[in-house]
Structure formats: C-alpha cells, structure tokens
Chain A
Amino acid sequence: MSIAPGQYGEIFDRGYRHYDGPRLGQAQAIWALARYSMARSLGMRRPWTVKIIPMVLYAAVSIPVLIAIGIRAFFPAFEFLAYPEFFGAIFLLVGIFVALIAPEMMSSDRHDRLLPLYFSRPIGRSSYVLAKLLATGLLTLSMSLLPAVVLWLGNGLLATEPVTALRAGLGDLGRIVVAGTMIAFYLGSIGLLISSFTGRKSVAVGVIILGFVLSESLAIALIEAFRDQPDLMRWAFAISPSRTIATLVGQLFGERDIGADVPLNSALLVMAAVIAICCAVMFAWYQRRD
C-alpha cells in the first residue's frame, strides 16, 4: 500500500519568528495586569489549596441569597433577607475576602520581586496601581454587589407581577449598586494600601484584619469619650470601616437605627475621602524611584 506524501502529518519549522503583529496600548496592559491579578488571587491555574478559601467565601455569601430566593418562591409574603440585613451580614465576609486578595495583588509582586520586570515594560507605575485597584475593585464587587443584584432579581422575578415588581424596585437596585460599589472600593483600597507596604502576605493579612478589629475598638472608645458631645460622637463612625458601611447602608435604605446618625452624603464623603487618600498614598509610594 502506498502512502501519500503528507498523509501522516507534516514537519513544521519551529525556528524563531519575529513578531510583526499589533502592539496594543496602555489600556490593554492595564487590563492584562488586572485580569492576571484577579485570576491569581482566585487561585486559577494554581494548586487547589489556594482556591479553597475564596470558594468558601463565595459560597458563604451566595447561600443566604439562594435560601432567601427559595423561601420567596414558596412563601411570597415572607421576607427573609432585606437588603440592609444582607449588607450588614456580608461585611465580615467581604472584609475577609479583601484581606485575602489584596495581599495577593500587591504583596506577592513585592515578594516575587516582579516590580522591576513590570516597570521595565511599557506600563507605568501609575498604571500598575490603577490595574491593581481595578482588579481588587472588580473582584470585591463580585462579593458585595453581585449577590445583592441576584437577590433583587430573584425578589422581582418571583413576585406576582414580575415586570411591575422589577420596575418598582429600580430604586432599590440603584441603592444596591451604590452600596455594593462603595463597599468594594472602600474596603479594597484600604486592603491594597496596607498590602503595598510589605512583601509578606501573612503580615498584610494580619494587619488588615487587625486594622478592622482595632478600628472598631477605637470607634467604641471615641464614642464613650465623646458621650457628652453628641456632635463629635456622631463622627466616630468614620474611624471604623464596619460602622462606616453600616451608616452608608442605613442611610441609603432609610433604616436610621443602623449606623451613625449622619446624613447619607456624610457617609459617602467619608468613604470617598478614604478611597482618595489610599489611592494618593499608593500612587505616591509607587512613584518613588531611586
């Protein structure tokens, strides 16, 4: 039997080829770094042990939402999980999530001495920080915003008249988006700032968690200290991330007994200021060069 040439395959020349394709700009590099950082933080293409904690946290956030939707399906009149309760419940989980991913974003690059490699590429130092902020913000949004949106969708779609319910709930959706986004970037920027100062992930995780706990203790101490001065006491919430988030959520959803008794704009202003300060310090820190 004769064999036709090429029947069993061909021999390819695997010699070096010069690259003459397109070279994309800064936006591509920022998105590439953000995507790579997100994948590494979630343990993608890494051993399964790295994936466990993020997956457990995602499950912990998702399960109450699924239960709430399930209850809603069988008992339409029974409201199991209101939005303020949801945000109050997930603060701890989102905090742990940030304490987990932020060191992976920043400290790992310092530990692995990747910064000279990155900065020898077209991406600038500011773009590097921007990519890390984007990655942390997007990942944290998946914890702070996505489940709340699913809950909102479930509540709407399981109503007797879904279209009417969804339309009526657009205000809630707006409040959910504001709360989820502010929580994500507020906690994310704090976590990133702390992580940017050390190459040791364990130290960064410890400092972030300790910072959340100590800030709460400090806020309680300030409240006690300023008990006779209500105007000052009201602002003690700004010291503590948990109280700041509670204040934002309480004011957004009209639950005045949650958080401090300050206007919504004050809570938004405090969070925006913290985000701005964290970003400014990080940009300045990474601009440093010898």
Chain B
Amino acid sequence: MQDVVPDALSIETAGLVKRYGEIVALDRVDLAVPRAAVGLLGPNGAGKSTLLRILLGLSRPNGGSARVLGRDAVADGRELRMRVGYMPETDTLPDNATAADFVAHMAEMSGVPRRAARQRAADVLYQVGLNEERYRLVKGFSTGMKQRVKLAQAIVHDPELVFLDEPTNGLDPLGREEMLDLIDRIHRQLGILVVLSSHILDDVERVCDYVVVLDGGQVVASQPLRVPEDDTADLHVRVDGDPGPFLKRLEELSLEARPAGIEYTSDEFVVARDGNRSLDAIRDAAAATDSPLRLLRPAKRSLEELYVDSVGAGANGARGRRRANKR
C-alpha cells in the first residue's frame, strides 16, 4: 500500500468489527484510504454495504473506530453527514413525487435553505441529464433515470465525499456507460471524492484511482489502481508459434516464466525481472529458438488478477477465522 499523509486520508478505520449474532460481517478492518476515487470491491456478503453503513453512521460497530474526512463516524455522525452524500443500492425513491421536488427536499434535509434548495435541485438534475424530465413523477422514469435521480439527491447539497452503492445495478450497457461517465465527472470535474462500492471490476477500473478489496469481512487488498511503471516490473512477453522451445531456453538461462493471467491468451507469459539480464536473456532465447518476439513490455497487474489473487487468498483465511470464531 502506498504511503499516505494522515491529513490526506478520506477514510480511516482501526480494528473495525461488526457482528450480526454469530456472523462476523467485518473482522478487524484496518484502512487508510487517501482522498481519491475509491473502489470498494468484494463478492456478495464481503461486508461492503456494512462498511458503508458504518462510515455513514447508519450502523454502530461492535469494536474499533472509523473516521471519515477526519471525523469520527459515530461521535461526529451528524456533522459528518452534512459533508457526505449517499446513493443507496436499493430503489429508494417516492413514486408519487417529481424529481425536482424530491431532490430539493433532500437538499433541505441537509440544511440548504428552501429557495437555494430548489435552485440546487434544478442545477444538479441538469448536471445528471434530467433537465426536461425533472417535473415528471418518478414512477414514470426508467431504471436509468431513477439512478440519475438517486445520484442527484446524493450530490445536491454539494458534499465533499459521496458514497455510491452499486450505482450501475440494473442498467443496460448504454445506461451503465453514461452512469460511469457521470461518476467520473463528479470526481474529476466537480472535485467530489467518490467511494464506489461494486462487485463489477470494470466499473471500479473505469473510474477509481484506489481500490479496497473486502472478502469475508476482511481487507484483502488496499492499494492504488494505477501504479507508475518502473524498470523493476516483471516483463510481459508474447512469441509467435510454439512457445515451448522459447520457454525451455529461458529456463536454461535461469529465468522463471509464468502464464500472463486469465485475461491473456495462452501464448503470453510474464518473465521475472532480474535487471537488464532478463531483457538480454529474452532477446537471446528468441533468437536461439527462432521465435518471433511479438510483445515485450513491463507487466501490469490487472484489477482482475489482483481481485482473483486477493479474494482467493483472503477467502481461505477468512473462512478459517469465521469457523474459529464460531467455535
């Protein structure tokens, strides 16, 4: 995990524990998340929604502490909630209200005076692409439009940070693209910090700079998504034809090669980096075995690889701990 300056943190937790009876939903969660667009990943039941609820002060932890924007999520909950927004996963809109009325009402609930609330509602609905439709009843809206209204109410009071829980749920591919564009804009152009909870890797990869992976109630990864490439990274290699002789030659040169990962074709490999010797060995092996070298670049670890690795490893440990707790 990258080093972070304490006052640059958006979320900090220490030993956070949440139990529902015998089920441990969060198990000693320690986090130090920088001010960025943060993706909260994990399979169903990993503890994502529980963590969001605690960070919003909607749920009390059984142990540990949680701070958001430098404020204690439990003790300073009211003040904190003036500075954050929340877009829940579930369908949470009154059918018999117009989008403009409801969003203005939610602005007032955050302390914005009445006249300013109506103005803010109109502005924000325009920003999320619901200008003409804002005086229509919500019950006539498509799923995509309802998601936009939910997003609008989450940012209408101009929060510093907005929690988005599965914002692309139920959207068709086009709607999903538009929603991700909006979220990206909220962060990059409007300067609002985003915490995006999702089980869709693409969504997180698209808009987030930092990722936290939860599994079995534990943090199994917490790191920046885009690590600057350097000359110590392993090498991603592809050769045409049968790679067998090429790999054998690399082995003879004492270099380890492994398949490049689940999203690559079977003739792509990652070769362990050993300074410039690796580059020379790959060149020599390709020349000696007459294997046309089609790709040679620093290997990047995809989010999918990170997720599969960390959730796989974390799941074994977490399940063991859960059983241990039950015993």
Contact = CB atoms under 8 A, between A and B. Distances in A.
A59 B122 CA distance: 36
A50 B96 contact: yes
Given A14-B126, A113-B92, A120 B120 contact: no
Contacts of B108: 28-29, 32, 36
Interface in A168-208: none
Chain A CB count within 10 A is highest, among B153, B158, B189, for B158
B116 A19 contact: yes
Interface stretch (A39-47, A62-70, A73-81, A262-270): A39-47
B25 to A, nearest CB: 9
A121 B109 contact: yes
A283 B66 CA distance: 26
Nearest to A33: B109
A200 to B, nearest CB: 14
A50 B190 CA distance: 39
B158 A19 contact: yes
A33 B109 CA distance: 7
B177 interface: no
A137 to B, nearest CB: 20
A24 B116 CA distance: 12
Contacts of A116: 58, 86, 88, 90, 92
Chain A CB count within 10 A is highest, among B20, B106, B110, B190, for B110
A228 interface: no
A113 B90 CA distance: 8
A19 B108 CA distance: 13
Contacts of B106: 117, 121
Given A23-B112, A28-B108, A120 B58 contact: yes
A5 interface: no
Interface string A25-60: 100110011001000100001110010000000000
Interface in B58-101: 58-60, 78-79, 81-82, 84-86, 88, 90-98, 101
Contacts of A46: 96-97
A9 interface: no
A257 interface: no
Classify chain B's interface size.
35 or more
A112 B127 contact: no
A176 B114 CA distance: 34
B123 interface: yes
B136 to A, nearest CB: 12
Contacts of B57: 119-120
Contacts of A10: none
A16 B190 contact: yes
Nearest to B116: A21
Interface in B33-63: 53, 56-60
A14 B82 contact: no
Given A114-B92, A120-B56, A14 B111 contact: no
Contact of B88 (A28, A108, A117, A121): A117
B236 interface: no
B148 interface: no
A122 interface: yes
A289 B96 CA distance: 28
A151 B105 CA distance: 36
Contacts of A23: 82, 110-112, 157
A135 B81 CA distance: 24
13 contacts: A16-B123, A19-B112, A23-B112, A25-B111, A33-B109, A40-B97, A47-B137, A113-B91, A116-B86, A120-B88, A124-B78, A289-B59, A289-B60
